[in-house]
Chain A
Amino acid sequence: MNSPTVPVIAVESISKWYGSVVAVNDVSLGIEPGVTGLLGPNGAGKTTLLKMIEGLAAPSDGTVTIFGETPRNNPALHRRVGVMSEHEAVYGFQTGRQFVEWSAKLHGVTAVAEATARAIERVGLVDAQNRPLGTYSRGMRQRMRLAATIVHEPEAIILDEPLNGTDPRQRIEFHDLMRHLADEGRTILISSHILEEVETLADRILLMVSGKLAASGDYRAIRAKLDEQPYNVRIVSSDPRRLAAALVALDSIASVSLGAENDVVVLSTNVAMLQRSLSRIAKDHNLRLERVEPLDDSLESVFSYIVEG
């Protein structure tokens, strides 16, 4: 594996434009071993950036290297890299096993049968491996594509929206697999437009907005920064009026309003404090909390907060 002091994936002042449309604008970043999450709303430029990193698209400006080599038209480099695109298409006439085997052979794997069996087992699709891919559910297809992506034991793995179509149980298994691969010293870059998907997985996140890198760093530090912004939180309880009265007394609450369905909507200036206080209030007032959910924790609102400072 590469030295941790040298980024495995190094992006220098990269831009991509199509005519007058700028898809990626002067992005620089370095990605090291571990799991890195590339977050951004749809249309932020994540996929375009990944395509340039993978070598599928030529940058209009700037440079990309993986393991110190340019990925564009560099077939030999792909022995060390595994890529799973956002496009979920597969060759429907192949069985899952044939698809992974095919990928292993093209990657120059020597023990194809063993590598295929190991990759399919890792994604938990042993029972379905002999069925045509055309009969798979979306989540199964994603997992078999993942098996084909890692069958040659790549040192760097790039996954574009890999959790599309997967159910919660599959997501947990995916997280476990990614953590395991990262613990082996691999460099994993995962894109997503859903904050929660990478929250527990990524060691580091990169936030993209409108083609630019808006923020990067440790997830918890960025999350803490996000927690300082005012949030609307909806709370469903057994007695909304008593809950509202108790919440008004908190310093971190800017406003409280009663909803139509036993719910209270509060504007909190400190979500972390609200979270800690809620359980105490429920206990003290003998309330049953049925649901607590942020109303504006969308990626867009998070990004606008970060971008606007």
Chain B
Amino acid sequence: MTEIFTLSLRQLLGRWRVLVILLLAAMPTLLILLIRALGEAELAFEGEVIDLIIDGMVIGGILPIVTMTLATAAFGNELEDKTLYYLVLKPVSRVSIVLAKLLATLVVAVPLVVASGVVASALVGAETQTLGTLALALAASVTTYASIFTLAGLLTPRALAYGLVYVLVWEGLLSTIVSGVRYLSVRGYTLALLHGLDEESFAAFEQRVIEFPAAIVGTGVVIVAFFLLALYRLRTMDVP
């Protein structure tokens, strides 16, 4: 599995992809620094700042887009280049292949997304414990999205386009305005995880989070279910 993992890591870190996701991940910090430089407002880790920076920018935008960009490419690159047969015709289990691809995505996406949220939060005065909670919830959220988009990359060459529609419409719009959707939304799970782990710091989410246990179960079920679906897809598909 190490060989597939390192190869996948090298594939993900090539090309234009790294530049785009680095820029995306740096946006919250750059925005805070810009606001400070302009002296427009005194920012603190509370209320609107949490809503705008943590939920709006990081959880609603940067996190799913960075993860999607990497996870859809994990198998998408192999399918596009027609190199997947190099992997599946080796004496390596399908579980190892999917796991290696998923881990390669996580090794890149988790530090980037966590840094994106944590550095921005630290700049506006979030406490260390809160930063720890944020890092944990963001990592869980990245893993959930990675599982979903790894399958998407195996299903269609247009995974990035479909993924963007899903992120904007389902996670961005519907999960905000339709309360029931939050039970089937990674964003809903992430907000509930943050609130459940640290009610005081993330009180801003109180009116729009699902139950904490539902978020834990939802996150776990989505990660495992989509991993198994990716495994099933790899076992049953005709490899080009």
Contact = CB atoms under 8 A, between A and B. Distances in A.
Interface of A: 51, 54-58, 73, 75-79, 81, 83, 85, 87, 89-91, 93, 102-103, 105-108
A57 B239 contact: yes
Contacts of A105: 3
Interface stretch (B52-60, B88-96, B182-190): B88-96
B236 A58 contact: yes
B238 A51 contact: yes
Given A58-B236, A93-B10, A106 B85 contact: no
A75 B90 contact: yes
A87 B238 contact: no
Contact of B91 (A56, A76, A87): A76
B11 interface: yes
B100 to A, nearest CB: 11
Interface string B3-33: 1100100110010000000000000000000
A93 B12 CA distance: 12
B40 interface: no
Interface string B69-108: 0000000000001110111111111100000000000000
A58 B83 contact: no
A85 B238 CA distance: 14
Contacts of A73: 94, 235
B3 A102 contact: yes
B240 interface: yes
Contact of A108 (B14, B85, B91, B239): B91
Interface string B196-240: 000000000000000000000000000000000000000110111
Q: Sort chain B's interface into a size bin.
A: 20 to 34
Contacts of B10: 91, 93
Given A78-B90, A81-B89, A106-B87, 19 more contacts: A51-B238, A54-B85, A58-B238, A75-B91, A76-B91, A78-B89, A79-B91, A83-B85, A85-B85, A87-B83, A87-B85, A87-B240, A89-B81, A89-B82, A91-B10, A103-B86, A105-B3, A106-B91, A107-B91
B223 to A, nearest CB: 23
Nearest to B6: A102
Best-buried of A51, A55, A87 by chain B (most CB within 10 Å): A87
Nearest to A51: B238
12 contacts: A54-B89, A56-B88, A73-B94, A73-B235, A75-B92, A76-B91, A79-B91, A89-B83, A102-B7, A103-B86, A103-B90, A106-B92
Contacts, number: 61
Contacts of B7: 91, 102
Contacts of A81: 89
A56 B14 contact: no
Contacts of A58: 236, 238
B93 A56 contact: no
A56 B85 contact: yes
B3 A106 contact: yes
Interface of B: 3-4, 7, 10-11, 14, 81-83, 85-94, 235-236, 238-240
A217 B198 CA distance: 75
Contact of B4 (A56, A87, A106, A108): A106
Contact of B89 (A55, A87, A90, A108): A55
A85 B82 contact: yes
A38 to B, nearest CB: 18
A148 to B, nearest CB: 8
Given A58-B238, A105-B3, A90 B91 contact: no
A107 B85 CA distance: 13
Best-buried of A89, A105, A108 by chain B (most CB within 10 Å): A89
Nearest to B88: A56
A56 B82 contact: no
A108 B96 CA distance: 14
Nearest to B82: A87
B85 A78 contact: no
A58 B83 CA distance: 18
Contacts of B236: 58
Nearest to B239: A56
A51 B89 CA distance: 11
B86 A75 contact: no
B18 to A, nearest CB: 13
A55 B238 CA distance: 9
When A and B form their complex, which 6 residue pairs have the shortest distance between CB atoms, in order from nearest?
A87-B82, A106-B90, A57-B238, A56-B239, A89-B81, A75-B91
B55 to A, nearest CB: 38
A133 to B, nearest CB: 11
Contacts of B14: 93
A55 B235 CA distance: 10
